[in-house]
Amino acid sequence: MKKNILLFAAAVMALASCGRKVEFEHMTFATFDSTSYSFNEDVEEVKIPVTIVNPTGAEFSVSVKTIDGKAVEGVDYEIISPVSGVLTFGADETTQEIVIGINYDDARTGTKDFELSIASATEGFIVGGSNIAKLRIKDDNHPLKMFIGEWNARAVGYSGLTYSWSMLIEGDESDPTWSNLLVYDLDPLAAYFGYDSANGYNTVDAKANEAKNQLTIVQDSYTATDEEGLIFDAPGVVLSIACLSTPTYVDGGSRLADVKMELSEDGSTLTIPNALAILADGGLAEIVDGPLVFTKK
């Protein structure tokens, strides 16, 4: 699967402003605490918090609804509370929970997903920007379930900038051998430019080994080189992340290598032992020395 990312050298410095915190001083609104939740299908029940920001001391209500994806309400999940679809906050309450029942499926189905939406709020108040939460039900019967889920990483580049991001791994339902996985948002800067998996980019195939303790993303499956030395897959689309066969990039001579992710014995971390590079037009804009460690969320 060839889904690559646009990145120019200026992107590295632009990232410095990516972590700005927006302050909301006067608006009262309802929001999810997180926009993404993943859980095993045997969990039976999950609770998703909804928070009121800048409460006024008055009663506040929001309506919530579900949006089916591969998971279907009444088959794969059901809303236990609120049955009415309306969460009502008392004058002193700032947090309520949506309670969802998860129906176990003992067949191999792959990851199923659906969404929760804060659809509306009490008149005179607003719904916050984080009003949709994506929920993923991980298949407990998948033979590679130890890899499936959300993984977080943090790395410091040579420039001193800190990179923090999340990578999602899911089963590939088109693979009858159950040995292939899909890796979403491996690249740390893609979302900054809108070149993330939600927009059809930054998704690659990963193959598990027989021991089920390593994933391999084959370099030839997601890179190519044109006459100008750009790493690309389509006109104007530049790959910004790759592993190198050596820790340094010398006069364009360092060969791009397969990305290998090694699973720890306890299943809590995935490690890329060789260097992680962020590529720019004709060379490296930044490089983060390996090993790069992803921690299971």
- The three-state secondary structure class of 16 is helix
Structure token pair of residue 38: 């993943």
CA 64 to chain centre: 23
pLDDT value, residue 254: 44
Q: Is the pTM of this model over 0.75?
A: no
Q: Which helix (H) or strand (E) holds 191?
A: helix 190-193
| Residue 249 pLDDT exceeds 50 | no
Give the range among 121-130, 131-140, 149-158, 256-265 with minimum mean pLDDT. 121-130
pLDDT band at 7; cut points 50, 70, 90: very low
pLDDT band at 276; cut points 50, 70, 90: low
Give the range among 20-29, 69-78, 101-110 with minimum mean pLDDT. 20-29
What structural domains does the chain harbor?
A: 11-18+142-296 (no CATH), 33-138 (2.60.40.2030)
Give the range among 212-216, 217-221, 244-248 with minimum mean pLDDT. 244-248
Averaged pLDDT score across all residues of the chain: 75
C-alpha span between 238 and 26 (Å, rounded): 42
pLDDT value, residue 277: 58
Q: How far is CA 31 from CA 7, 82, 106, in A?
A: 31, 16, 34
C-alpha span between 293 and 269 (Å, rounded): 7
> 283-286, long-range: CB within 8 Å, 24+ apart, which pairs?
283/229, 283/249, 283/252, 284/249, 285/7, 285/8, 285/9, 285/11, 285/12, 286/12, 286/157, 286/158, 286/159, 286/161
Identify the CA nearest to 56 among candidates 29, 20, 82, 35.
29
Cis amide leading into 55 (omega within 30): no
pLDDT band at 28; cut points 50, 70, 90: confident
C-alpha span between 81 and 87 (Å, rounded): 9
